[in-house]
Amino acid sequence: MEEIIISTLQRTMIAGTPLLLATTGEIICERSGILNLGVEGVMAVGAVVAFMVTMTTGLPWLGVLAAVAAGMTLSVIHAVAAITLQANQVVSGLALTMLGLGLSGMLGKPYVGKPLTLKMNDVAIPYLSDLPYIGKILFFQSPFFYLAIFLALGAWFLLERTRLGIQIRSTGENPKATETQGVNVFLIRYLCVITGGGFSALAGAHLSTSYSKSWIEGMTAGRGWIAIALTIFALWNPGRAIWAAFLFGGIFVVQYLMQPLGISPNFLSMLPYIATLVILLLISLKDPKRLNAPAMLSAPYNRGER
Amino acid sequence: MKDICKSFHGIHANKDINLYVRSGEILGLLGENGAGKTTLMNILYGLYQPDSGRIEINGSPICISNPVESITHGIGMVHQHFMLIQNHSVLENIALGYKDTPFFFPKKKLRNRVEEFSKQFDFKMDLDQRVWQLSAGEQQRIEIIKALLNGADLLILDEPTSVLTPLEIKELISILRQMKAEGHMVIFISHKLDEIMDICDRVTVLQKGRVVGHADTADTSKKALARMMVGRDVVFNIDREKLEPGKKVLSVQEIHVTGDKGMPAVKGVSFELFENEIFGIAGVAGNGQRELAEAITGIRKIDSGSVHMNGKDITNKSPRHIYDNGVSHVPEERIRFGIAPGLFLYDNAILKQHHLKKFSKRYFLKYSQVKNHAKTIISDFKVATHSINNQIRNLSGGNIQKLILGREISEQPQLLVASHPTYGLDVGATQFLREHLLALRKQGSSVLLFSEDLEEIFELCDRVAVIFAGEFMGILKSDDERLADIGLMMAGSKGF
Amino acid sequence: MIKITTSDRYDISPLRSLMTNIFSLVAGLCVIGIIFLIAGVNPLYAISQIFLGSFGSLYGIKETMTKAIPLILIGAGLTLAFRAKFWNIGAEGQLLMGAIFSTWTGLTLGDQLPSYLIVPLMFFSGFMGGALWGIIPAILKIKYSINEVISTLMLNYICAEFLTMLIVGPWKGNTRFGFPGTDNLPGAAILGVIPGSRIHYATLILSLICAVILCVVIYRTRFGYEARVVGENPDAGKYAGINFLRTSLILMAISGGLAGFAGVGEIAGIHHYLGYPASVSSGYGFTAIIVAWLAKLNPLYAIVSGLFFAGILVGGDAIQISLGLPAATVEIVNGTLLIFLIMGEYFLNNKISVHISTKSKG
């Protein structure tokens, strides 16, 4: 029994990692006022690039870096469309997802079914990993796990305790006012969108080099969309995102627990998506105002507007 | 500033502007709405680039391509619509605008500096309050602190008194005089002659984008300035004949309405309206007028109390139901609430009326009727457009407002709720509109007029109420001499 | 120095609009060519194969028309939803729901009723299924402020799992040799096709009729007017007394219902049984988004736009075989074209002027 609990929690941490990475990135992006629906596509590209580079070079860290670079580059498209060209952000993000999923499918075809021999090994933190119970759950994990938590906390610190954070949040609330204070709103938004893209790609890299160590089309399985929902669920706060992501990681894992009980696996697969809706519903019922995004989310900003 | 020119959309906002300011001086920039004052100052502040011309400080030309550079040159600006982040705290807003904010832990490190500074000018402020919780005067003070903290020698104030109570205006004036004594320069933009004469040392007058004159306030008069501003003698010649009020039309009893942030905005307001009368509600913006108007017209929920129209209860009924009962509404933020920007003019001409039998039959709209109606409004209300097939967002602000007004008035409503209807309109349109309101009154309708313009209130209204912090400070007949104290009432003392 | 300024363009003529779209598509194709080049494929060959595959042969044209049917249906429905700024990304799920409902009708009643009764019944039930799946996000948005992008997407996944659940479980047919899927629909429930092709003409005609009806609805009815106002300016909608809940419910019922029709068409017209989600719809719900966008949210134009993208899908299948590229390649084409369409809009709405001056400004 104890073993089951520990193993479940371990797997929860693993499952929540890509969610946390992608959610943190999307929080940064949305806080500056840009909605990026391309997370799913960028994540897929990150996964395939990480896999390809790791497989060909044998260096997992290089694969990760390449994935982040690819994700950032891809996000530039959405940034240009949404910020400079002031296009409809919903459609632009969707286009990015299509493009990303397509690119990853095309690039990944030759690699389907080939397992990674070199992979991201789990790292044990000395001393702490010997603690009973939590040692194995929290301190003997893939490096992505530690990275995700570090980045989420870092993002929180950036947004709440630095000057740049004030500028980012102000840009999302009122870009016109922020501009008059001498802040380059366009630059901030570009940085946030591109950073968000890097994070999403990082999440993808985790999926292909640490989580499953293989590549298959569709491996993101809607995690990108869930991350977008989690952004709302976390109320645009990276600290809360940590809880939110691992809660959902748990829901993903619970599927496997319940299978032996004879419940239809398809129903269990539905759980994360149903849970998303239920939780959003609960937040809304409890306090509808809390679903308020940064005030100017997804509204294009034209510098010359009178 | 020398020979400044700037155009938007082919219309010259500024043409060949020359002006100068000396230290220890308050320069007034006077002009009608749309004369180009804000555009000019935005150029000075670095938000816009002039098409031609140059700016000089102490004789040497400088180039200001963005606000950061203007701040470096010692120029600070307090905009008419505050450039503050409503959801953030005072301290965060100041940190945003301050050029030397530290990167790490800005709030902690800036707090002492700001507190010291406020003491110097005797500003009392809670740095952790959210901006939306503060009054307009307090918000303005944040803007001033930001400018001064950045070392501004020249402070530009754009229509600073438009949102202040008379008391707050006095406080602002004393602050400006203190700054003048310390050698700062101030450019004071306004369209209010009284203030210019009172506060400024010199005046530059703009009309339709050009400078039409400079003067020292000591050597000129209100009338002379007014003539310069408009190009003709401005005398609002409106005859308001005395009319006996008819039967009761609207009855509002003890209504309480909550504002956007969850705080009570209207606290127990009661009054009645009769036919053949214009009832004015005076007060500085932000004291509950918008919420009151929205409550009566059905857009906002009434928490307690009741509203009756011709004896029928219309409390919390749908906006359409209330409209069908004879209540029309010209909203405060006209562009935001009154039109669908991408749709054509004729579509917008029936925005509130599209469900009426004369425009729709069962499920379909009768477009020929709609277009005729649009043409009628355009000619009756002199809306400038080359065709009704124009997208409405291509019209100028003033013309859009005329269309909205025409749309609401043309249905002969029993009650017209007009929120700041002449705000932003030029002189001709203002006159036109006021005449229409009086015509409505004569025809037997009643008008509920919300206005900040005291001149307008006195000219048009039969009875006046003053609203402050969601309550009525008093309801007086227009010939009541206690109205002389209207300024006090607007600032919160009860009239009777 | 060179100065580039932009200004709003007010006079947008339909010709300019069309030219901008065409130019965007061409530019998009060029970039797709570059992507092919990088992937080691001859771009000119690949792109020509796409168009030859879809329009260059009689077989290709027939296939294109077949695939155009669901695209036109869903695309037209989306033009309505998008005009009201209701971002319905859930057309996939709505299509599947339509397939599920109509399959049930067909299997249960198909033996007992003649064709002219069972077919309309199937379309009706399919519409109901899609409409139901469309109404849920409308309620969630209006009553609970839940972002419709997320709710429609989640419902896609939920429906796909639900469908799989049905065909491996309670609805598993006896004639499938152990593979998941329902039995074949009875003969009366199968839609006729134009001989020599897979074009199920009943649905084709239905799609054209729906496009026309939707055009009338958007531009000439009170409901259409209200939907447009809500999309242009929700604040004005509130002020005008428009009932948001009612408007959203109706438009999502229509949009979802049309997707449901598409689902019926796929089952009753092409596959004749209900199988895995991926076999029922090859991403029509998503491709239709681009169809609607290219059609500038006009349901009549969606007919042309639908044919165009159907061509791309068919061409994508063609080069899968001839060049060995994966099916996902089509998504690249779709995504790139959509991006270029969006970018093109910028140039449509703004006049770009370049000033080259010799004197420097202070």
Residue B81 to residue B87: CA distance in whole angstroms:
16
Which pLDDT score, from 0 to 100, does residue A68 have?
A: 96
Give chain C's mean pLDDT. 87
Q: For residue B83, what pLDDT is reported?
A: 85
Enumerate residue ranges in chain B where pLDDT < 70: 1-15, 32-35, 59, 208, 222-223, 226-227, 229-239, 261, 424, 426-427, 481-488, 490-496
Half-sphere exposure of B142 (CA within 13 A, CB side): 31
**Is residue C195 one of the residues assigned to a domain?**
yes
Q: Indicate if B401 and B462 belong to the same structural domain.
A: yes
Q: Tell me the shortest Cα–Cα distance from C202 to chain B, in angstroms.
A: 28
Q: Please indicate, yes or no, if residue A299 is contained in any of the structural domains.
A: no
* One domain, residues B264 and B168: no
Closest partner CB to C225 (pick from B55, B352, B354): B354
Neighbours of chain B (3+ CB pairs under 8 A): A, C
| Cβ-defined contact of A170 to B88 (cutoff 8 Å) | yes
Tokens 């969108």, located at residue: A193
C217, closest residue in chain B (CA to CA)? B364
**In-domain check, residue C310:** yes
Task: Give the closest-approach CA distance of C39 to chain A in angstroms.
Answer: 8
Question: Which pLDDT value is given to residue C139?
Answer: 95
What pLDDT score does B170 carry?
A: 84
pLDDT at A180: 81
Burial class (CB in 10 A: 0-12, 13-18, 19+), B341: middle
Last residue of a domain, one of B169, B201, B230: B230
Does residue C10 belong to any structural domain of this protein? no
Mean pLDDT for A286-304 is 59
Which residues does A233 contact at the CB level (< 8 Å), separation at least 6?
A240, A244, A276, A279, A280, A283
User: Rounded distance, CA A272 to CA A274, Å?
Assistant: 6
Q: Estimate the crossing angle of helix A223-233 against helix A238-258, to 10 degrees.
A: 130
C26 CB-near residues (< 8 Å, 6+ apart): none
- Whether residue B432 contacts residue B382, with contact meaning beta carbons closer than 8 Å, is answered with yes
Q: Are residues B362 and B452 in the same domain?
A: yes
Whether B20 and B3 have beta carbons less than 8 Å apart is answered as no
Question: How many domains are there within chain B?
Answer: 2
Tell me what pLDDT residue C261 has.
95
CB contact under 8 A, B339 and C233: yes
C220/B364 Cβ within 8 A: yes
- Read off the CATH number of the domain in which A260 is found: 1.10.3470.10
Structure tokens given for B467: 């609203």
Give the domain CATH number at B94.
Answer: 3.40.50.300
Distance separating alpha carbons of residues C267 and B285, to the nearest angstrom: 62
Average of per-residue pLDDT values in chain A:
85
Q: Please determine, for residue A130, whether its predicted confidence score (pLDDT) is greater than 70.
A: no
Q: Which residue of A180, A186, A188, A236 is the best one to mutate when testing the B interface, meaning the one whose CB has the most B CBs within 10 A?
A: A180
Considering only CB atoms, B101 lies closest to which of A163, A179, A304, namely A163
Predicted pLDDT at C69: 94
| Domain coverage including residue A15 | 2-116+133-291
Residues B412 and B451 in one domain: yes
- The answer for B 241-260 residues in CB contact with A (under 8 A) is none
pLDDT of residue B235: 46
Whether the CA torsion C146, C148, C153, C157 is positive or negative: it is positive
Measured between alpha carbons, how far is residue B347 from residues B374, B445, C133, C145, C226 in Å? 8, 27, 32, 28, 10
Name the residue facing A166 among B66, B95, B262 (closest C-beta).
B95
pLDDT at C361: 46
Share of residues in chain A with pLDDT > 90 (%): 39
Q: State whether residue A227 sits within 8 Å of chain C by CB.
A: no
- The conformation of residue C273, written as its DSSP 8-state character, comes to S
Nearest to B87 among A173, A179, A181 (CB): A173
Helices (H), ranges, A207-263: 223-233, 238-258
C60's tokens: 């290709």
Tell which of B56, B339, B390 to mutate to test the C interface (max C CBs under 10 Å): B339
Same-domain check for residues B215 and B261: no
* pLDDT for position B496: 44
> Which chain B residue is nearest to residue A296, measuring alpha carbons?
B85
Indicate if B207 and B163 belong to the same structural domain. Answer: yes
Report the CATH number that the domain containing residue C61 is assigned in CATH: 1.10.3470
Q: How far apart are CA B1 and CA B343, in angstroms?
A: 41
How confident is the model over C43-70, as a mean pLDDT? 86
In a domain, A28, yes or no: yes
Asked if A88 is an interface residue toward chain B (Cβ–Cβ < 8 A), one would say no
Q: What's the CA gap between A189 and A33, in Å, rounded?
A: 7
- What number is the average pLDDT over the span A240-244? 92
- The answer to whether residues B487 and B286 touch, using CB atoms and an 8 Å cutoff, is no
Rounded Cα gap, residues C277 and A270, in angstroms: 14
Residues of C in contact with A232 (CB under 8 A): 147, 150
How would residue A25 be classed by pLDDT, with cut points 50, 70 and 90?
Answer: very high
Contacts of B158 in chain A (CB under 8 A): none
Helix (H) or strand (E) holding B31: strand B26-31
Domain count, chain A: 1
Q: Are residues B219 and B261 in the same domain?
A: no
C162 to A266: CB separation less than 8 angstroms, yes or no: yes
**Residues from chain B contacting residue C221 (CB–CB below 8 Å):** 363-365
pLDDT, tens digit, 9 for 90 and up, residues C175-220: 777 778 888 888 877 888 888 778 888 899 999 999 999 999 999 8
Give the separation between CA C54 and CA C76, rounded to whole angstroms: 22
Query: Do B137 and B166 reside in the same domain of the chain?
Result: yes
Which residues of chain A lie closer than 8 angstroms to C81, CB-CB?
A: none
What was the pLDDT predicted at B3? 57
Q: Are strands B154-158 and B75-78 parallel, antiparallel or unpaired?
A: parallel
Nearest beta carbon to residue B88 from set A162, A173, A176: A173
- CB < 8 Å & 24+ apart, contacts of C44-49: C45/C323, C46/C319, C46/C323, C46/C325, C49/C315, C49/C318, C49/C319, C49/C322, C49/C323
From C256, C297, C35, select the one nearest C126 (Cα to Cα).
Answer: C256
How far apart CA A92 and CA A300 sit, in angstroms, is 12
Last residue of a domain, one of B198, B230, B262: B230
How many CB pairs below 8 Å do chains B and C form together?
78
Indicate whether A59 belongs to any domain: yes
Determine the residue type at C255.
Answer: S
Give, for B477, the enclosing helix (H) or strand (E): strand B471-477
Give yes or no for A163 touching B (CB within 8 A).
Answer: yes
C282 near C71, Cβ under 8 Å?
no
Distances (CA, A) of A213 to A60, A112, A210: 11, 11, 6
Contact C223 B363 (CB under 8 A): yes
Q: Which of C97, C135, C129, C323 is nearest to C246 (CA)?
A: C135
Residue B398 is assigned to a structural domain of this protein: yes
Residue B69, Cβ neighbours under 10 Å: how many? 15
> Domain containing C215: what range?
42-324
Q: How far apart are CA B27 and CA B200, in angstroms?
A: 6
pLDDT digits (tens, 9 = 90+) for A170-228: 999 888 888 888 788 999 999 999 999 999 999 999 998 888 878 888 888 889 988 99
Q: What single string gives the DSSP state of each residue in B45-83?
A: HTSS--SEEEEEETTEEE---SHHHHHHTTEEEE-SS--
Distance to chain A for C265, nearest Cα, Å: 25
Q: Do B352 and B479 fall into the same domain?
A: yes
Q: Are residues B403 and B468 in the same domain?
A: yes
User: Which pLDDT score, from 0 to 100, does residue A127 have?
Assistant: 64
pLDDT confidence of residue A67: 95
Inspect the interface and report whether the beta carbons of B79 and A295 lie closer than 8 Å.
no
Q: How many helices (H) and strands (E) does chain B have?
A: 17, 22
Locus of tokens 């005076």: B282
What pLDDT is attached to residue B484?
Answer: 63
In the block, tokens 């400024």 appear at B200
Q: Give chain A's radius of gyration (CA, Å).
A: 19
Which residue of A163, A179, A289 is in closest CB contact with B95? A163
Residue type, C193: V
Per-residue model confidence as pLDDT tens digits over C134-162: 999 999 999 888 888 889 989 999 999 99
Q: Choose, out of A80, A106, A292, A305, the residue to mutate when testing the contact with C (most C CBs < 10 Å).
A: A106
**B91 and B142 together in one domain:** yes
Alpha helices in chain C (DSSP H): 14-38, 43-55, 58-83, 91-109, 115-144, 148-168, 201-220, 222-232, 234-239, 244-264, 277-280, 284-294, 301-323, 329-349
State the average pLDDT over residues C327-334: 82
- Tell me what pLDDT residue C11 has: 67
| B150-160 b/e (C-beta count within 10 Å ≥ 16 → b) | bebbbbbbbbb
B8 within domain boundaries: yes
> What's the farthest any 2 CA atoms get from each other in chain C?
87
| CA–CA gap between residue B31 and residue B192 (Å, rounded) | 9
Instruction: Tell me which residue range forms the domain holding B208.
Output: 2-230
Is there a domain that residue C126 lies in?
A: yes
- Residue ranges of chain C whose CB lies within 8 Å of a chain B CB: 7-8, 10, 220-223, 225-226, 228-229, 232-233, 235-241, 243, 361-362
Position A264 in a domain: yes
| Residue B401 Cα, gap to closest chain A Cα (Å) | 17
- Write out the H or E segment, with its range, that includes residue B196: helix B193-199
pTM beyond 0.80, yes or no:
yes
Dig out the tokens for A172 from the structure: 């999302």
Query: In which residue are the tokens 């194995």 written?
Result: A136
Q: How many CB atoms lie within 10 A of CB C322?
A: 13
d(CA C280, CA C92): 10
- Pick the closest to residue C264 from C160, C129, C122, C167 (CA basis): C122
- Give the model's pLDDT for residue A293: 61
Across the interface, do C161 and A266 touch by the CB < 8 Å criterion?
yes
Structure-derived torsion over alpha carbons of residues C108, C114, C115, C121, reported in degrees to the nearest 10: -50
Query: Which helix (H) or strand (E) element contains residue A4?
Result: helix A2-31
Q: Tell me, what's the pLDDT at A229?
A: 86
Query: Which phi and psi (to 5°) does residue B393 adopt?
Result: -70, -10
Whose CA is closest to C313, among C340, C281, C343? C281
- Determine, yes or no, domain membership for C21: no
Name the residue of chain B whose CA is nearest to C221's CA. B364
Check if B64 contacts A (Cβ < 8 Å): no
How many domains, chain C? 1
Residue at which a domain ends, from B202, B230, B258: B230
Residue B102 and residue B176 in one domain: yes
DSSP letters spanning C109-160:
HTTTS-HHHHHHHHHHHHHHHHHHHHHHHHHHHHHH---HHHHHHHHHHHHH
Asked if the structure places residue B206 within a domain, the reply is yes
CB contact under 8 A, B83 and A177: yes
List pLDDT tens digits, range A31-86.
999 999 999 999 999 999 999 998 888 888 899 999 999 999 999 999 999 998 88
Q: By the 8 A CB rule, do A199 and A223 touch?
A: no
Q: Tell me which chains share at least 3 CB pairs under 8 Å with chain A.
A: B, C
